[in-house]
Structure 1
């Protein structure tokens, strides 16, 4: 897939799935801007990798639960990119908690980071696409948890279901401008967000046995499907949810 000359944004691009997607975009010729929340060294490493591919790389530190940070980020995008071709809404948090222990502060932090930020980032970036007459691609990172739920993820699964609903509406709204919007639903992927949870060997073995491919996913397993959906090769997939789980869902019967 050829992304030469394309400008792409990947939120939460310093680690995990976002990192794999950002690097894959750079590998294929895109200029890439990532957002990140905490890890300065990981963000710097990612940008250095991007630049090593002879493309432009940028990083922006942001608390995506704060609307003022989002407004400042949109201004930063305008200062670096003349236009935006691709937006991948990947950033998210999942503090595993018992349902009865989730307080309003925790719920709001997860909701604002996982949904509200992407609502307003997409609003700002899609305006740029429309103003520049860019037939862009927008991708939301949902989750298999939006379909099957999770015992310690009631707040998280709520946000991932919401992202799919948002995506469906935007596929209609932005489709009129030639902008295509879809979502990915990764299964169990080994990332920082679940590393502690999957450090339990019994639980990890159980999860692996439920997957027909008999292994947990890697961030790179998500990068390929993500790149296809935001590439010029995708000419007619709009408003769709793509499950990437190694066959786990169909094996849950």
Structure 2
């Protein structure tokens, strides 16, 4: 899957899965507008094909301004996400709203601007929203996060329905546990990782590159008839 001459926008590009997607797109020929709220993470992405964009996606107007500056673009990947761990009974409205703002509202805002640009130019396109198997499973202490990913999957289906006639495909990738630098430390405890691994037929967790490859497939013309799907990248966790 080559992306020479193409331009992509990736949110949450500074760390983990977003970083892997950004680097993989750039390595395969794309120019990538990398959106992140961390200047140090953007500095570490230094690459001739990567354009760093510092923005806090919780700020809707700043998000709109950053997105407009990155247009026109051929592809969009909404990867930015946060999680605030709280038991359901202790989940605060503020925490809930913070998670929804980044995980659901920001993809809505960026996707609207991207899609309007493509439609105005008479062009199709592809959007991939990075969701989670938390859209399908009610993990303890993940009320805000699970709600946000379920909402993102539902939003994606509406987008696929409404934007499909314009030639814009919209899908989600739903990773299971993915061994980013932070997650590798969090899941190094066998007492925690053991139950998840025992339910995973492949017997291992995903790497950021595993997820990035799935994203690039959905962006590419190889997935020209794939629209409105939620694709688990979880080693078979959902199959058990």
TM-score normalized with structure 2 length: 0.95
- Indicate the RMSD between aligned Cα atoms, in angstroms: 1.5
> Which 4+ stretches in 1 moved above 3 angstroms?
192-197
CA deviations on 1:154-182 (whole Å, 9 max, x unpaired) are: 11010101111111111111111111111
User: How far did 1:196 drift?
Assistant: 5.7
Question: How far apart, CA to CA, are the structure 1 residues paired with 2:238 and 2:68?
Answer: 41
User: How far did 1:91 drift?
Assistant: 0.4
1:42 aligns with 2:41: yes
Residue 233 of structure 1 is matched in structure 2 by: 222
1:22 aligns with 2:22: yes
Residue 65 of structure 1 is matched in structure 2 by: 58
TM-score normalized with structure 1 length: 0.90
Residue in structure 2 matching 1:118, options 101, 107, 112: 107
User: How far did 1:189 drift?
Assistant: 0.9
| 1:1-253 paired onto structure 2 within 5 Å | 1-38=1-38, 40-46=39-45, 48=46, 50-51=47-48, 56-78=49-71, 83-191=72-180, 194-195=183-184, 197-251=186-240
User: How far did 1:67 drift?
Assistant: 1.0
Question: How far apart, CA to CA, are the structure 1 residues paired with 2:118 and 2:7?
Answer: 11
CA deviations on 1:129-150 (whole Å, 9 max, x unpaired) are: 1122221100111111111121
Question: How far apart, CA to CA, are the structure 2 residues paired with 1:141 and 1:65?
Answer: 17
Task: Indicate conservation of the 8 Å contact 2:6/2:31, yes or no.
Answer: yes
Task: Indicate conservation of the 8 Å contact 1:136/1:179, yes or no.
Answer: yes
Name the SS of the counterpart of 2:9 in structure 1. Answer: strand
Listed as ranges, the gaps of 5+ residues in structure 1 are none
Q: Number of matched residues? A: 240
Question: How far apart, CA to CA, are the structure 1 residues paired with 2:223 and 2:56?
Answer: 32
Task: Indicate conservation of the 8 Å contact 1:187/1:248, yes or no.
Answer: yes
Task: Indicate conservation of the 8 Å contact 1:37/1:61, yes or no.
Answer: yes
Question: How far apart, CA to CA, are the structure 2 residues paired with 1:96 and 1:200?
Answer: 18
